[in-house]
Structure 1
Amino acid sequence: MTGRTIRVETPGDDGVALVTIDRPERHNAIDLETAAELTATWRAVRGDDGVRAVVLTGAGERAFCTGIDRSVSVPQPSSPYAMDDPLLAIGPKANDLWKPVIAAVGGMACGGAFYLLGECEFLIAAESATFFDPHTTYGMVSAYEAIGMAQRMPFGEVARMSLMGTAERLSAARAYETGLVSEVVRDGEAVGAALRAAAVIAGYPSAAVQGTVRAVWSAREAARSQALAGAPHLITLGNAPPEQQAGLFAARKRGHRMR
């Protein structure tokens, strides 16, 4: 299952796979190759009975994932009713994987990283982890990202994070208070904590675990499906032209407020 940008390991014989986005030099941003490898990884895990739980993380200490790599260029259809999004299939649920996935977050998690975090069962974060959504700052609509986070956080918190862009970052402590994160651990310990939790879950009968995962997700599936159906139109209508986005990115301010 291991590819050039996605590393898959089985640290023990407990049925747990560790999936690592391995582009630390790019803050684990997702290019088209990485997107394809993530899709292939979830599909492979789905068919591997030896894997009963998964931990997802990013390589290095600076970032879990910073969303789509800005070097990626995806030509869009001319119709406002159609949109091509290379990140739509990078998450486990998008690939019909109902084995539990636990995210171990260290460093920055922002923007398109929420496609992944929004499809994990729960998050464990290092103390220095931060969460933010830069879309509005760069003239882009936060649709799929905001929808994913709206399943995990109070409305006001999602709205604030989505609208404040790069001006604010959510600390791991505040993310825990809002319910986005289920546990905060010391730096360097998130993966270990997630592996321990995953090992416990992997030790239970797999059919019961997967059925429970599916039941939990079904509780909110209707609202989520309706929201996702409208996302492409909002993005197509609201996104600034690519050249304007590039200009806003180049002129971005480096400072931010932590809360």
Structure 2
Amino acid sequence: MEGPIKTERRGHILAVTLDRPKANAIDLATSRIMGDVFTDFRDDPELRVAIVTGAGEKFFCPGWDLKAAADGDAVDGDYGKGGFGGLQELRGLNKPVIAAVNGICCGGGLELALSADIILAADHATFALPEIRSGTVADAASIKLPKRIPYHIAMEMLLTGRWIEADEAARWGLINHIYPATDLMVEAWKLAELLASGPPLVYAALKEIVREAEDMKFQDALNRITRSQFETVEKLYRSEDQKEGARAFAEKRDPVWKGR
């Protein structure tokens, strides 16, 4: 794909690279393209895992393109499917997404990373929510971050715009793993291949349960699972893959997942 978003497809894996020199900032047009890309990923039965990263070695994404805003892009404009960056509000995305943070990750870029399920980072990556310094609100991060890391650390980042290095981000549980920059994408592809070899219907059920149960009481959520009141759980329990998993265990072999 030409333009600000590059894609690479390997088997069941889609890699999405934000490539807008100099900093990989996202304007309205780029956000709409990303929305189309991630919607297609969601709806393609052959794709099971996505990787999102930035081009180059310095920037993952600094978020909203302030230069585009100065030229007329409205902050409340049309971000396209899935909202800002295509992932943040994309409904029904029941496939794993890996963020490979290759450099500066701040503002809406950090919100993009938070929309992934697993975050890997290069050892030189840095993270911040500097919106406070420009008199605006990191809206999605204000909702998500205090639920992901200790409240007081999240609030310090939101209230001061303080930058943190990759090792501190890992210490607070903001990211999963740190790698040398040269190894980041190798490890991202390795993890994606591991996930792509797993049971896609189970992944779908897990993502729906986690998403829907966030605002539910424990027993209410558990009741919905055991009564197959989640669409993905119902599909899983009636699937060929459910039977295949049991057969493979009994026959002491690796299962062959078909996603149906």
Q: Same fold (TM over 0.5)?
A: yes
Distance in 1 (CA, whole Å) between partners of 2:107 and 2:154 is 12
Give how far 1:46 is off. 1.2
TM-score w.r.t. length of structure 2:
0.75
From 17, 22, 46, the equivalent of 1:20 is 17
Structure 1 equivalent of residue 169 of structure 2: 175
Structure 2 equivalent of residue 123 of structure 1: 119
Structure 2 equivalent of residue 185 of structure 1: 179
Larger Rg: 2
- More relative contact order, 1 or 2 (CA 8 Å, 6+ apart): 1
Contact 1:107/1:128, CA 8 A, preserved across alignment = yes
Instruction: Output one character per residue of 1:65-118: Cα deviation in whole Å (capped at 9) or x when no partner.
Output: 000111223447xxxxxx557383424352222211010001100001133112
Instruction: Output one character per residue of 1:22-81: Cα deviation in whole Å (capped at 9) or x when no partner.
Output: 11x2311001111011100111111211210011100000110000111223447xxxxx
Structure 2 equivalent of residue 95 of structure 1: 90
Unpaired runs of 5+ in structure 2?
218-260
From 21, 37, 41, the equivalent of 1:41 is 37
Instruction: Output one character per residue of 1:166-217: Cα deviation in whole Å (capped at 9) or x when no partner.
Output: xx31110000000000111112222221211111111112111111122222
TM-score w.r.t. length of structure 1:
0.75
Higher deviation after alignment, 101-110 or 111-120: 111-120
1:60 alignment partner AA: G
- Summarize the Cα distance change of 1:30–1:208 in structure 2 as closer, same or farther, 3 Å threshold: same
Contact 1:8/1:18, CA 8 A, preserved across alignment = yes
Distance in 1 (CA, whole Å) between partners of 2:197 and 2:117 is 17
Higher deviation after alignment, 196-205 or 87-96: 87-96
Distance in 1 (CA, whole Å) between partners of 2:33 and 2:201 is 26
From 210, 213, 219, the equivalent of 2:207 is 213
Instruction: Output one character per residue of 1:104-133: Cα deviation in whole Å (capped at 9) or x when no partner.
Output: 001100001133112110100111000011
Structure 2 equivalent of residue 5 of structure 1: 4
2:59 alignment partner AA: A
What RMSD, in angstroms, separates the aligned Cα atoms of the two structures?
Answer: 2.0
Contact 2:29/2:79, CA 8 A, preserved across alignment = no
From 7, 11, 28, the equivalent of 1:32 is 28
- The residue matched to 1:113 in structure 2 has which SS? helix
Distance in 1 (CA, whole Å) between partners of 2:88 and 2:200 is 17
Q: Percent identity?
A: 30
Aligned residues: 211
Contact 1:92/1:98, CA 8 A, preserved across alignment = no
Moved over 4 A (4+): none
